[in-house]
Amino acid sequence: MTENLLEVHRLSKSFPGVRALHQVSLALKPGEVLSVIGENGAGKSTLMKILAGVQPADSGDIFMDGKKTSFETTRAAMDHGIVLIHQELNLCDNLNVGQNIFLGREPRKLGIVNSREINRQSEEFLDRVGLSVSPKTIVGRLTIGKQQMVEIAKALSVDARVLIMDEPTSSLSSKESASLFELIESLREQGVSIIYISHRLAEVKRLSDRVVVLRDGEYCRELIGDEITHSNMVSSMVGRDVSQFYNRTAHPIGETVLKVNKLTTPHWPKHSVSLEVKAGEIVGLAGLVGSGRTELLRSIFGIDRPLSGNLEVNGKTVQIRSPREAVEHGIALVPEDRKQHGLIIDLSVQDNIGIAGLRKHASRFGFVNFKKQKSDTDTMIHRLDIKTPSDRQISKFLSGGNQQKVVLGKWLSMSPKLLLLDEPTRGVDIGAKQEIYQLIEKLASESMAILFVSSELEEVIGISDRAYVMHEGQLTGELDRSELNEESIMRLATNTAELEEAKI
């Protein structure tokens, strides 16, 4: 066995209210593909950010070639040959491929950027990643898959020995994914080590030499070779019996609360979506990231105006032109991006919970009913068990789970008839996750209609009465509770045949 290229010893990192990483150690050999898996909030992203110099660790050591190092900046990490390729690509759309590859390190001649040299060298690296485009192509014109190749070429240009890829396939088509996998294999042969992070277990299984599982910020288990099986990965990640984690009880299902009739969203103008949600029903909306689920919720909630189609709420056809109107119709949305859309992060818990009901509870002449706001807040803090020192605490100092509960509290204080949830457990620790599932369950039993988007298959399978699956802007299927399993969802989410290809 060769020497370890990169070693990590007892790395820890905390954020206010959250222990993101606790005493995590791992090692990476040259020319190895190591996958790091774990649920959301397990600490994968934090670990990778520390390795890439995006943020410092609180404690712990990093060894490169057996020498102790520490990275204060991404630049320092890069100098050691560690490059992080983000989920969202870091390229300048308006520059060409060559300029992007050499951004900040342009070869110069008498102080003037030497474009010829850039193009010549770029071609070399593009060749290594197997991308046949001219270095003079503007990056914005390339597909996401090709842009990712450019990003990798850029990494190679700084002599990257460790490539960290964070969910690289999340926005790729299956064809693009396939060529990425080929590239990864060829890089491995060139001696480049790869740390691969993905939720897609099929990919992980196909690519990895070794898999490290993180759970709740701690090192959990390592899987090598034959141990890398789907069930091993799932059980290590979740760490408990899945059926108990999602504790479902049957309850009666009532009238249709929401009926979506041939709704076309501005993002997917060619496809329309029809679905319905009944009172007391928990309906999942599964699919890959970027399949149009968030856009559908946005259109239902009046954030984007649909191009065509209409909504029926409680049997009446309604036009919803703004979130305000949606709220007036008894609809609530817990958005995916909690910090940008869900909360006003600089305001207190009370201000956030009270904000939606300000108008509703106002006295004559528009004065705020502070008593009501305070009592609503107290009720929600108690009911949702929001862990906060006081209702005056600024929301940004709460943990992700408690922030999410604040968002939920804001809407529950409005007693909506229909609750739309977009990735409700993203960035939430495992304990809060379970509480949110219980809450959803309880709300449904109180005959609230619930439509939730989730990229976690376990979650969709665990709590839905029924689920719709989306693929590239259209519904590819509807699954009953009895039909729900990973395979059936993935088949619909990737539109059948492509799944087989990914799985080999």
Partner 1 sequence: MGDRGTGLLKIAGITTLLLVLWCILIWESPLSFLTPNNLENLLRRTALYGVLGIGVAFVIISSGIDLSIGSLVCLAACLLALFLQVDYVPVGQVDVWQVRVEDSTISVAADHGFTQGDELWYYKDRRNKGLVKVVNVGATTQLNGRSIATLTVDPPPKRDQDSRETKPLGKISSTFDVTDYQGSQTTLESDAPDLKHNDKILFVHASETPREKTVDRKGDGNQLVLTDEDSGLNAEFRAVPIRKIPFMSIPLAILSVFGIVLSLGIIHGILITRLKLQPFVVTLCGLLIYRGLSRWLTNDQTVGFIEYQETLGEVATGRWETGIQFMPVKVNPVDGADSWKIVWDSAEGAQMFGIPYSFFIFLTVIVTAIIFLNLTVWGRHLQAVGRNEEAARYSGISTHRITTLAYMLCAVLTGLGGVMFAIDSNSIAPSSFGNFFELYAIAAAVLGGCSLRGGEGSILGVVVGTALMQTLYNSIVLLKIPDELEFTIIGAVILFGVAGDELARMLAAKFRSKEA
**Which of 168, 335, 409, 473 is in the footprint of partner 1 by CB under 8 A?**
335
Q: Where are the alpha helices (DSSP H) in 131-259?
A: 144-157, 174-189, 201-207, 230-238, 242-245
The answer to the question of residue 348 lying near partner 1 (CB under 8 A) is yes
Indicate which single residue of 212, 343, 469, 492 sits in contact with partner 1 (rule: CB under 8 A).
343
Are residues 263 and 312 in contact, defined by beta-carbon separation less than 8 angstroms? no
95 in contact with partner 1 (CB under 8 A): no
Is residue 491 part of the contact set for partner 1 (CB under 8 A)? Answer: no
The DSSP bridge partners found for residue 418 are 331, 449
Choose between 234 and 345: whose C-beta lies nearer to partner 1. 345
Strand partners, 310: 261
d(Cα 84, Cα 46) in Å, to the nearest integer?
A: 12
Provide, rounded to whole angstroms, the least separation between the CB of residue 14 and partner 1. 9
Binding test (CB under 8 A) with partner 1, winner from 362, 385, 415, 478: 362
Residue 340 or 485 with smaller CB distance to partner 1: 340
Stretch touching partner 1 by CB under 8 A, among 111-119, 154-162, 206-214, 363-371:
363-371
Minimum CB distance to partner 1, residue 405 (Å): 16
**Segment holding 400, helix H or strand E:** helix 400-412
DSSP letter assigned to residue 481: G
Query: Taking the complex as a whole, how short is the minimal distance between the CB of residue 327 and partner 1, in angstroms?
Result: 4
**In this complex, which beta carbon is closest to partner 1, that of residue 201 or of residue 380?**
380
CA distance 297 to 301: 6
Decide: is 333 part of the binding site for partner 1 (CB under 8 A): yes
Minimum separation from the CB atom of position 144 to partner 1 (A): 24
Binding mask 378-407 for partner 1 (x = CB under 8 A): --------------x-x--x----------
Cα separation, 332 vs 460, whole angstroms: 20
Is 336 near partner 1 (CB under 8 A)? Answer: no
Pair 179, 19: CB distance under 8 Å: no
The residues that bridge with 213 in the sheet, in sequence order, are: 37, 221
Binding status of residue 351 toward partner 1 by CB under 8 A: yes
Q: Which stretch binds partner 1 (CB under 8 A): 168-176, 237-245, 340-348, 379-387?
A: 340-348
Q: Does 251 bind partner 1 (CB under 8 A)?
A: no
Q: Does 161 bind partner 1 (CB under 8 A)?
A: no
Distances (CA, A) of 4 to 29, 64, 65, 232, 488: 5, 8, 7, 26, 40
List 317, 340, 415, 485, residue binding partner 1 (CB under 8 A): 340
- The smaller minimum CB distance to partner 1, of residues 326 and 430, is found at 326
305 binds partner 1 (CB under 8 A): no
245 CB neighbour count, 10 Å cutoff: 17
Q: How far is the CB of 348 from partner 1 (least distance, A)?
A: 6
* Of 197, 129, 200, 144, residue with least CA distance to 175: 144
Residue keyed to tokens 């990640």: 237
76 vs 355, beta carbon nearer partner 1: 355
Task: State yes or no: residue 303 binds partner 1 (CB under 8 A).
Answer: yes
Q: Which is nearer to partner 1, 105 or 339 (CB)?
A: 339
Binding of partner 1 by 347 (CB under 8 A): yes
Element (H, E) at 115: helix 115-128
Residues 4-23 binding partner 1 (CB under 8 A) are 16-17
Tokens representing 349 are: 């818990």
Provide the greatest CA pair distance for the chain: 78
Check binding of 57 to partner 1 (CB under 8 A).
no
Question: Is the CB of 261 or the CB of 369 nearer to partner 1?
Answer: 369
Shortest distance (Å) from residue 311 CB to partner 1: 16
Query: Using CA atoms, how far apart are residues 492 and 495, in angstroms rounded to an integer?
Result: 5
Determine the Cα–Cα distance for residues 217 and 203; give it in Å rounded to an integer: 23
If the CB atoms of residues 18 and 97 are measured against partner 1, the closer one turns out to be 18
Work out whether 376 is an interface residue with partner 1 (CB under 8 A). no
Count of residues near partner 1 by CB under 8 A: 35
Q: Which of residues 307-326 bind partner 1 (CB under 8 A)?
A: 322-324, 326
Residues sharing a CB contact under 8 Å with residue 24, sequence separation 6 or more, in sequence order: 8, 10, 11, 12, 43, 47, 60, 214, 217, 218, 219
DSSP letter (8 states) at residue 6: E
Q: Which is nearer to partner 1, 14 or 232 (CB)?
A: 14
Instruction: Give least dist CB 11 to partner 1, A.
Output: 19
In our burial notation (b when 16+ CB lie closer than 10 A, e otherwise), range 181-215 reads bebbeebbeeebbbbbbbbbbbbbbbbbbbbbbbb
Q: Which long-range contacts (CB under 8 A, 24 or more apart) does 98-105 make?
A: 98/122, 98/135, 98/136, 100/139, 100/150, 100/154, 101/125, 101/135, 101/150, 101/153, 101/154, 101/157, 102/157, 103/154, 105/157, 105/158
> Is 327 a residue that touches partner 1 (CB under 8 A)?
yes
Q: Where are the beta strands (DSSP E) in 216-330?
A: 218-224, 256-264, 273-278, 282-287, 308-313, 316-318
**Of residues 180 and 326, the one with the C-beta less far from partner 1:** 326
Q: How far is the CB of 352 from partner 1 (least distance, A)?
A: 8
Nearer to partner 1, 159 or 346 (CB): 346
DSSP state of 278: E
Residues that bind partner 1 (CB under 8 A): 16-17, 301, 303, 322-324, 326-328, 333, 335, 340-348, 351, 355-356, 358-359, 362, 365-368, 392, 394, 397, 410
